[in-house]
A = this chain, B = another copy of it.
Amino acid sequence: METLSTPTINHISAVVKLHKLSDSLGFIEKIAEEIAQGLNLNIVKKVSNKFEPIGRTLVYILSESHLAIHTWPEFNLMHIDLVSCSNTTLTDFDRVLAGILREFQVVEYKSKSHNI
């Protein structure tokens, strides 16, 4: 991105595997709201979808870009995708997620900051 005149774009994604991952909307909303709160991101609009037979997607448009969470309860797995024009670092993200996931039995957690 060095050659482009651009805004700040911080792109982070994570895969979280729990011992037991809920298929409820409440679960995915709680995770997303706590991420937004923990990283001082402002939710502008929300959209969600329930897939058949299981699995959900929740997307928040943020004033800083977007946060999307997809769940695959059949794998006890969720994918978190955050694009932010705020100065959110991977360290901040991991710290917030560690706090959120404290109440769950985490089987695996992987996160990464992406550059183009």
Residues of A within 8 A of B (CB): 1, 3-7, 9, 11, 13-15, 17, 44-49, 51, 57, 59, 61, 63, 65-66, 68, 70, 72, 75, 77, 79, 81, 83, 108, 110-112, 114-116
B7 touches A77 (CB 8 A): yes
Set B1, B9, B70, B108: member contacting A3, Cβ < 8 A: B108
| In the complex, chain B residues whose CB is within 8 Å of the CB of A9 | 15, 79
B61 touches A61 (CB 8 A): no
B75 touches A66 (CB 8 A): no
A83 touches B70 (CB 8 A): yes
Q: Name 6 extra pairs, CB < 8 A, besides A1-B15, A112-B115, A114-B114.
A: A4-B77, A9-B15, A47-B47, A51-B63, A59-B68, A81-B81
**Considering only CB atoms, which chain B residue lies closest to A110 in the complex?**
B116
